[in-house]
DNA sequence: GTCTATATGGAGATAGAC
DNA sequence: GTCTATCTCCATATAGAC
């Protein structure tokens, strides 16, 4: 998988050409022929580096994940408040994708099919997924919220799922400045944090255990 | 939109041929040429009646919705228990689609894109959607559960959304007999009903109001 | 209105040049 | 290993026959 310098340059040229065209005219409106022409290679060359058009979008997604790796520790250092920490993580993602929001539509189409190898839920994308889940683990563990031990184990995954839901809503949110998503985020994040606290009360043990056993049975 | 008898027969022949082939070899593996050939018409004829391959799946979906219209009142007559009533509605859908579960994958791909005219969330499919939501309204209204008035208004839509989530999970559930979905249903339905009851307590007014205001802001 | 014959344009595959 | 030229197959469009 290690590429020569020349190959690496060709690959980057194709990816850049693709992202440029996707931004200009949209994913569906851009053909692989267009991309190859823009990068000044034959169509087959584009397929040599990216097995499908969707894989170009995934490559973009991977780029942002690499960026995030460096940023996450910084933004988590700012506060111990769980709500703020979660908000920081989600805001980062939204910011990273802000200019290419519609592009994620292509990923969303794949995303609903977990058997597709490029789905965020597929085995093949496990490394990226667990890295993302792990950032939620950091957000939880480093916070000053008191969370029952059993919940603490599965919470990061649940929060990641919550983030995916928010992202999905955002992708299709055509309200000005996507303010509907911001409202959704404002409203639900508050509820989520409150539910975490409520369900961590000893009184809530039975309901919490039931919920967690369902979560474990299906995931 | 009223078809002559002959046209109606052709349309049915094409739809039946399509569903037969979809079942035999799957949606992606069946081409419009295959379908037209199986129905003994030209490719264009298939497109005359169905604007796209997906529309054939939607036609199937509409068939089951028509069936359901007669069955729903019967199954809701059997018990006043909210949990049982909701379970009956969801079980019906699962039963109706049981033999063509994988076919719904084609709808799921569309489904995530609310701007697609065939999405269950699109304006164009509003009649079907509201009929389905209305069956949940019947399930709630006719039950013996005590539900706060404000929640009662939005609850049917929320329950419909819950059902869509279950269906989505089921479509991709490859466990034997889809028992994972049944576990998910068993576990979550219990929690859902309990949450409805808990949140209807006067004590929960503020949290409930916050939740409902979010729901209204985004839908 | 109902349908056939034929055309178009794109995703992806492949043989083989270098 | 990198890449070009060319091919196949399909969804969908369209002109026009009946």
Write out the residue limits of the CATH 1.10.357.10 domain(s) in chain A. Answer: 53-218
B53 nearest nt, CA–C1': D11
- What CATH architecture applies to the domain B53-218? Orthogonal Bundle (1.10)
The token pair at B12 is 């049915």
CA–CA distance, A195 with A72 (Å, rounded to integer): 25
CA–CA distance, A100 with A105 (Å, rounded to integer): 10
pLDDT score for B62: 92
What pLDDT digit, counting tens, does each position of B193-219 carry? Answer: 998 998 899 888 888 898 999 999 887
Answer whether residue B69 shows pLDDT above 90.
Answer: yes
CA–CA distance, B207 with B214 (Å, rounded to integer): 11
- B58: CB partners within 8 A, 6+ apart: B107, B118
First to last CA, chain A: 31
Chain D, protein-covered positions (CB within 7 A): 1-6, 9-15
What pLDDT digit, counting tens, does each position of A56-109 carry? Answer: 999 999 999 999 999 999 999 999 999 999 999 999 999 999 999 989 988 888
Return the sign of the alpha-carbon dihedral for residues B64, B69, B70, B73: positive
Segment A172-178 mean pLDDT: 94
pLDDT score for B214: 92
Minimum Cα–Cα distance from A213: chain B residue: B187
- A180: CB partners within 8 A, 6+ apart: A169, A173, B217, B218
Hunting for tokens 């994913």 — which residue is that?
A27
Answer whether residue A1 shows pLDDT above 80.
Answer: no
- B17: CB partners within 8 A, 6+ apart: B35, B38, B39
Segment A14-34 mean pLDDT: 95
Minimum mean pLDDT range among A28-42, A196-210, B135-149: A196-210
CA–CA distance, A22 with A11 (Å, rounded to integer): 16
Contacts of A213 in chain B (CB under 8 A): 187
Q: Among B105, B168, B210, whose Cβ lies nearest the Cβ of A191?
A: B210
Using alpha carbons, select from B213, B115, B148, B109 the residue that is nearest to residue A116.
Answer: B109
| Percentage of chain B modeled with pLDDT above 70 | 99
Helices (H), chain B: 5-25, 32-38, 43-49, 53-76, 82-97, 104-111, 126-141, 149-171, 179-199, 205-218
The radius of gyration of chain A from alpha carbons, rounded to an integer in Å, stands at 20
What pLDDT digit, counting tens, does each position of A144-170 carry? Answer: 999 999 999 999 999 999 999 999 999
Answer whether residue B91 shows pLDDT above 90.
Answer: yes
Q: Do B217 and A109 touch (CB under 8 A)?
A: no
What is the average pLDDT value for chain B, to the nearest integer? 93
CA–CA distance, A120 with B112 (Å, rounded to integer): 14
Answer whether residue A36 shows pLDDT above 90.
Answer: yes
CA–CA distance, B6 with A15 (Å, rounded to integer): 53
Contacts of B115 in chain A (CB under 8 A): 172, 174
Phi-psi region of B186 (alpha: psi -120 to 50; beta: other; left: phi over 0): alpha
Write out the residue limits of the CATH 1.10.10.60 domain(s) in chain A. Answer: 1-51
The token pair at B20 is 């037969």
The number of beta carbons lying within 10 Å of the beta carbon of residue B33 is: 11
Q: Indicate the helix (H) or strand (E) that contains A3.
A: none
The number of beta carbons lying within 10 Å of the beta carbon of residue A19 is: 19
Minimum Cα–Cα distance from A214: chain B residue: B187
CA–CA distance, B209 with B219 (Å, rounded to integer): 15
- Of the residues A172, A186, A197, A215, the best mutation for testing chain B's interface (the one with the most B CB atoms within 10 Å of its CB) is A172
Q: B1-51 sits in which CATH class?
A: mainly alpha
pLDDT score for B131: 96
Asked if A68 and B73 count as a contact pair (C-beta separation under 8 A), the reply is no
pLDDT score for A2: 67
Minimum mean pLDDT range among A160-164, B37-41, B53-57, B204-208: B204-208
What pLDDT digit, counting tens, does each position of A111-149 carry? Answer: 888 888 899 999 889 999 999 999 999 999 999 999 999
pLDDT score for B76: 97
CA of A50 to C1' of C16 (A): 21
Segment B15-19 mean pLDDT: 96
Residue A5, exposed/middle/buried by CB under 10 A (0-12, 13-18, 19+)? exposed
Asked if A82 and A140 count as a contact pair (C-beta separation under 8 A), the reply is yes
Q: Among A105, A112, A191, whose Cβ lies nearest the Cβ of B108?
A: A112
CA–CA distance, B142 with A9 (Å, rounded to integer): 66
Minimum mean pLDDT range among B120-124, B141-145, B154-158: B120-124
Q: Do B168 and A112 touch (CB under 8 A)?
A: yes
The DSSP symbol for A202 reads: G
Contacts of B108 in chain A (CB under 8 A): 112-113
CA–CA distance, A160 with A158 (Å, rounded to integer): 5
CA distances to A73, A76, B19, B54, B165 from B46, in Å = 56, 57, 13, 12, 32
pLDDT score for B1: 55
């Amino acid at each position: 998988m290690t590429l020569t310098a020349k190959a690496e340059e060709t690959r980057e040229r194709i990816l850049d050409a693709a992202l440029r065209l996707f931004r200009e005219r949209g994913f569906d409106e851009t053909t692989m022929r267009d991309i190859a022409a823009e990068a000044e290679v034959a169509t087959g060359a584009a397929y040599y580096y990216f097995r499908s058009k969707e894989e170009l979008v995934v490559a973009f997604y991977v780029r942002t994940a690499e960026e995030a790796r460096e940023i996450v520790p910084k933004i988590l250092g700012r506060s111990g408040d769980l709500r703020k920490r979660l908000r920081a993580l989600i805001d980062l993602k939204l910011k990273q994708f802000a200019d290419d929001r519609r592009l994620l539509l292509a990923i969303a189409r794949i995303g609903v099919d977990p058997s597709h190898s490029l789905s965020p839920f597929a085995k093949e994308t496990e490394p990226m997924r667990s890295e993302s889940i792990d950032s939620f683990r950091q957000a939880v563990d480093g916070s000053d919220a008191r969370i029952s031990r059993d919940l603490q184990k599965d919470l990061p995954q649940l929060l990641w799922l919550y983030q995916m839901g928010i992202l999905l809503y955002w992708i299709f949110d055509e309200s000005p400045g996507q303010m509907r998503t911001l409202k959704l985020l404002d409203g639900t994040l508050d509820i989520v944090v409150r539910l975490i606290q409520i369900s961590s009360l000893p009184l809530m043990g039975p309901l919490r255990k039931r919920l967690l056993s369902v979560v474990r049975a299906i995931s």
